[in-house]
Structure 1
Amino acid sequence: MNVNEATGTTTATWLDTALGSGVRVFDLGRPLYRGMPQSPNHPPYWHTLPRRHGDMVRADGGSAAADHISLGTHVGTHIDAFSHVSHNGLMFGGVRADEAQRGGSMSSLGAETILPMFKRGVLLDVPRALGLTRCEPGYEITPDDLAHTARSQGTEVRQGDVVLIRSGWGEHFHAGAEVYTGHDSGVPGVGENGAYWLAGLDVHAAGADTIAFERLAPGQGHSLLPAHRVLLVEKGVHIIETMDLEELATAGVHEFLFVLSPLKLVGATGSPVRPLAVVPGANS
């Protein structure tokens, strides 16, 4: 509250007004822990405790513990920078990959160039719209599926939105890496046509509850990633992967304020993130 010095009265700030009825926050990020599911293409998450309580004790009896962590920038919930993927040697905007990566980091299109997101977010709950619990392994979510989901939810996808696609595969996250990464079974997701559908609506970013955002064919792993090419290289749409969309879907929330802030990792091809969906109402 602000106090008017002349009258002694208080007036509500814009923040007081905005939060007057409270907000509910959905955490869309996955926990990071040793042994968590991840793509085999990236260094795993590792956590150690090199400084433990009691290793050093201050004169007043105080002590502190401190950690060391390491992980690939595409492990856990993360966002892809435009430097993550190239096609025929070129990245987004025609930047030459061989020149940008000289010196051991990306001189162009690195993670530090990804601006924080404070955007309208949309959840497209595809299996629910199709009358399913989850999409089948290796199922390609088509433009018709995406359009049908938006219509059935009464949710309009607008220019500049962040669109999150639930396949239901996120339910497998705690079943272990082999199940969640789905190399043998395949993983559901959008393909090339679905990526063009999203880009045609001029969305700002797209995310999913799967390891690689897009459809992975059974037994093929990450051998072909056409949606990455379309979104990251051709159209300039960021990709967010390994999201937790289950609570949001269970609550039936399809429109929200989407908040995401990448780490300023200079020259990196991606960044770990903890995205949030914010809606009016009290947190449970």
Structure 2
Amino acid sequence: MAQNPVSSLIGALADGSVEIVDLTQPLSEKTPVIKLPEQFEQTPRLKRHEISRYDERGPAWAWNWLELGEHTGTHLDAPIHWVTGREGLDVSRIPPSHLVGPAVVIDKSAESAEDPDYVLTVDEIRSFESEHGPLPEGGWLLLRTGWDARAHDEELFLNAASGRPQSPGFDAECARWLAEESPLVGVGVETVGIDAGAAAEFDPPFPVHYYLLGAGKYGVTQLANLASLPPTGALLVVAPLKLVDGTGSPVRAFALVPRG
């Protein structure tokens, strides 16, 4: 009798032939948050409010309440985050099957180090497919740019000393193709948002938000440790809060990676 696949996975985790890689940036009061132009409202960074700490307010327990934006730290963008997806799903209604799926990793860290405004194109995805096979049905494309190494320093991470943010991402046609023609359910990036830093100047502005969320797909931002994943073969798990009417949510993201 064939072994139960869950039992097989448990065995593979126990013997080290499958490794769990944490793709989540630490979430703290120092976690970088996106900064919009001054005319728009801003999202708050994480702030902790103490309720009790083993004292007269609660002698045997410590706990806090949190103040933070839905789009803080490593987080998921739901379709309703963008006007084009306003009739789509909130975070609480995303099918769990969309949050667990095969991942491909396209490594453009060298290009991004040379040009912080680097953007991925459809031709580059086609080139990846010619080497590694087609993008997986119901899967995720994770764009590795090396940007996670900057996450400890908000100034380096947002990289806006030139007067506008400079960070890598996808060009407008690539965003449209991913949304309308690819078999993927979402994309993940290491940067503060799913669009490139210069995307306010693209046509349409912020095309990944515009096309991907408008197509009912998803984005995950501020990922870490993509360098530890192979180009294909990893299983991505994204675990947001089941937040009713949520436009987004901080997540714990990790990947199951075969080793050996």
- 1:281 deviates by 4.2
Most deviating of 111-120 and 139-148:
139-148
- In structure 2, the residue matched to 1:66 is 63
Runs of 4+ in structure 1 over 6 Å off = none
What are the equivalent positions in structure 2 for 1:1-284 lying under 5 Å apart? 14-22=5-13, 23-40=18-35, 41-55=42-56, 63-87=60-84, 91=85, 95=87, 109-116=89-96, 117-127=99-109, 132=111, 134=113, 136-152=115-131, 154-174=132-152, 176-183=153-160, 184=162, 185-199=165-179, 200-217=181-198, 224-233=205-214, 235-244=215-224, 246=225, 248-250=226-228, 252=230, 254-281=232-259
- 1:68 deviates by 1.5
Which amino acid is 1:262 matched to? Answer: P
Asked if the contact 1:126/1:146 (under 8 Å) is kept, the reply is no
Aligned CA distance change for structure 1 residues 259 and 137 (closer, same or farther; 3 Å): same
Asked if the contact 1:163/1:203 (under 8 Å) is kept, the reply is yes
Structure-1 separation of matches of 2:57 and 2:219 = 44
Aligned CA distance change for structure 1 residues 109 and 19 (closer, same or farther; 3 Å): closer
Q: Greater share of strand residues, 1 or 2?
A: 2
Structure-2 separation of matches of 1:133 and 1:266 = 37
Most deviating of 134-143 and 30-39:
134-143
Asked if the contact 2:76/2:251 (under 8 Å) is kept, the reply is yes
Give deviations 1:145-198, integer Å, cap 9, x for gaps: 33334445x253122111111122222111x21221223351111021111232
Give deviations 1:47-75, integer Å, cap 9, x for gaps: 233311233576xxxx2111121110001
Aligned CA distance change for structure 1 residues 72 and 57 (closer, same or farther; 3 Å): closer
Q: Helix, strand or coil: the match of 1:275?
A: strand
Structure-2 separation of matches of 1:270 and 1:170 = 20
- 1:113 deviates by 1.3
Q: Helix, strand or coil: the match of 1:259?
A: strand
Which amino acid is 2:250 matched to? Answer: P
So what's the TM-score if we normalise by structure 2? 0.82
Structure-1 separation of matches of 2:200 and 2:77 = 24
Q: Helix, strand or coil: the match of 1:264?
A: coil
So what's the TM-score if we normalise by structure 1? 0.75
Cα RMSD between the aligned structures? Answer: 2.8
Asked if the contact 1:44/1:72 (under 8 Å) is kept, the reply is yes
Structure-2 separation of matches of 1:202 and 1:158 = 7
Aligned CA distance change for structure 1 residues 257 and 217 (closer, same or farther; 3 Å): same
Asked if the contact 1:213/1:239 (under 8 Å) is kept, the reply is yes
Structure-2 separation of matches of 1:57 and 1:203 = 48
Give deviations 1:79-120, integer Å, cap 9, x for gaps: 111111114xxx35xx3xxxxxxxxxxxx6322112222211
- 1:144 deviates by 2.0
Question: Structure 2, unaligned stretches of length 5 or more?
Answer: 36-41
Aligned residues: 242
Asked if the contact 2:106/2:141 (under 8 Å) is kept, the reply is yes
Question: Structure 1, unaligned stretches of length 5 or more?
Answer: 1-10, 96-107
Asked if the contact 2:147/2:157 (under 8 Å) is kept, the reply is yes
Asked if the contact 1:21/1:281 (under 8 Å) is kept, the reply is no
Aligned CA distance change for structure 1 residues 18 and 57 (closer, same or farther; 3 Å): closer
Asked if the contact 1:189/1:215 (under 8 Å) is kept, the reply is yes
Q: Which has the larger radius of gyration?
A: 1
Asked if the contact 1:111/1:268 (under 8 Å) is kept, the reply is yes
